[in-house]
Structure 1
């Protein structure tokens, strides 16, 4: 019965909540790990989810922390997975209460968003050689769009030709929870996209639904976008510890803030559900101001 509950829950995340494949895979892994632990320690799984209580979950979390030495951030994600799972079961009236309700998340060290400097972005988009073939044009447009719009990697994968609103100079983005948002784009980027769409028609077996495709004609996939961004960010000479698509999203938000954009506007452009998620970028600006003060003030 519990196996069926898990299957139904994953189906709910995929088709109703519209979570990304990466997020769903993480949920599946967390649930599999918990139920494997339960089997090893307590024996056969109970017939229904009501047979799982807070004590069982706390024991698992303690094992993750003390035996496996997993980070607080990783453990908190697993708590969140179980919270979502039991909330779903309660919604479906399959359990009376959520055993995770009495659990507390662990304190985690604040991690500021990693971003590249404006001059490094300039070099990425103007100084790096992407190549003049179709693959090079695809790779360049990946970096251009991610930085120009701040969209997530999964949102870029799902971006369709029809999402570009040429006359209004904006792109429609389908974000988390199936929520749409509109992000303005400038004329030079629209011109690059127009040229790309024209070039795409000469690719064998090309896909006319998705905006960006591989040189084989197939749609982009997550690993390709990640490797592309990492490769070209490395070529800028940046010393960042992480070079992922999300770094360009962080750079988009940080540079907007540093140039005077309103925090509420940045929230809407990023597609955040709450202002709290966006306010982390203000910490970057404060840290930058402190650094400038220390370097330039006589008594810094």
Structure 2
């Protein structure tokens, strides 16, 4: 009878069967999950003083997961986004084990209860400052503006922006773009009139298979090119808006900002899930929690404490209901 407590066989099945066959995740996601385990297993070996091939599922405890995440941030200098990516891989491994080994369901729950770290997002004035940085009098400035407003409008991942082609954009009465997300899943995302106005001249005269965002040499813009573009825009915008210097801003931060701003404007959580291409609604709920915390903070510091204390939301449940209705 196979020993279900050893973590090694589970890791093998997770990487070679579950991610590839069952989930059909994109190659980059598979590599990211593998890299997480490349870091996690030696760390687990070091802390528990147990050879890697003798590690058990119980050796991977919630406290150790938190310790590992702290190690990533403090010793490896990883950002909050990277920390969350590593934790997402660990959550996925725990879920896989829990689904196939009933005796480990309780363990799975404790691992998946380790929370994601709320990552930075930009307020509307900061987004506006970012969009004002490109020089629209130049072709490269026009491209930079088109890319920035596209990222904010759609909440697209970097890979999705890199691989966007002319044929992925539909114009007509309701402009929209088709995005190829994780697991080769496609989704349609509406684009604003302003976004369509800057994208249309950018792709005029090109064939359907051409990529939308090109560099100065006419080659497709790379992931690193987009990261560099966003960093330059942030550095320039921070001269007029110093609050940007306090945040680690990249393309994924703009994606977070899109989600939070959609939520604030009254878009329901399921629509945001479809908009961003999330597989699980749990991922989208992170933005709802961020928005609720901000509203709770605003409520706690309002100028009318006497009025607030007399309202039905003075209880915890009433407060939550009230905040959701704001």
Q: TM-score, normalised by structure 1?
A: 0.71
Q: Is the 8 A contact 2:162 2:222 kept in 1?
A: yes
Aligned length: 278
Give the Å deviation of 1:208. Answer: 4.8
Q: Aligned partners of 1:145, 1:272: CA distance in 2, in Å?
A: 18
Q: Aligned partners of 1:275, 1:85: CA distance in 2, in Å?
A: 18
Give the Å deviation of 1:271. Answer: 1.5
Q: Residue in 2 aligned with 1:94?
A: none
Q: Residue in 1 aligned with 2:236?
A: 235
Q: Aligned partners of 1:289, 1:35: CA distance in 2, in Å?
A: 40
Within the candidate set 255, 266, 277, 1:260 is matched to: 266
Higher helix share: 2
Within the candidate set 38, 54, 57, 2:57 is matched to: 54
- Whether 1:250 aligns to 2:261 is no
Give the Å deviation of 1:169. Answer: 1.0
Q: Residue in 2 aligned with 1:279?
A: 285
**Change in CA separation of 1:235 and 1:77 when aligned onto 2, cut-off 3 Å:** same
Q: Is the 8 A contact 2:142 2:198 kept in 1?
A: no
SS at match of 1:105: helix
Give the Å deviation of 1:288. Answer: 2.8
- Whether 1:147 aligns to 2:152 is yes
Q: Residue in 2 aligned with 1:79?
A: 90
- The structure with higher relative contact order (CA 8 Å, sep 6+) is 1
**Change in CA separation of 1:273 and 1:82 when aligned onto 2, cut-off 3 Å:** closer
The alignment's C-alpha RMSD in Å is 4.3
Q: Aligned partners of 1:297, 1:216: CA distance in 2, in Å?
A: 56
Q: Aligned partners of 2:120, 2:44: CA distance in 1, in Å?
A: 38
Q: Residue in 1 aligned with 2:298?
A: 292
Q: Residue in 1 aligned with 2:80?
A: none
The Cα offsets for residues 148-176 of structure 1, whole Å up to 9 and x where unpaired, read as: 11111121112111110112411111112
Q: Is the 8 A contact 1:160 1:211 kept in 2?
A: yes
Q: Unaligned stretches of 5+ in structure 2?
A: 1-8, 74-82, 307-326
Give the Å deviation of 1:119. Answer: 2.2
Q: Residue in 2 aligned with 1:194?
A: 200
Q: Residue in 1 aligned with 2:35?
A: 29
- Whether 1:172 aligns to 2:182 is no
Q: Aligned partners of 2:96, 2:282: CA distance in 1, in Å?
A: 25
Q: TM-score, normalised by structure 2?
A: 0.66
SS at match of 1:279: helix
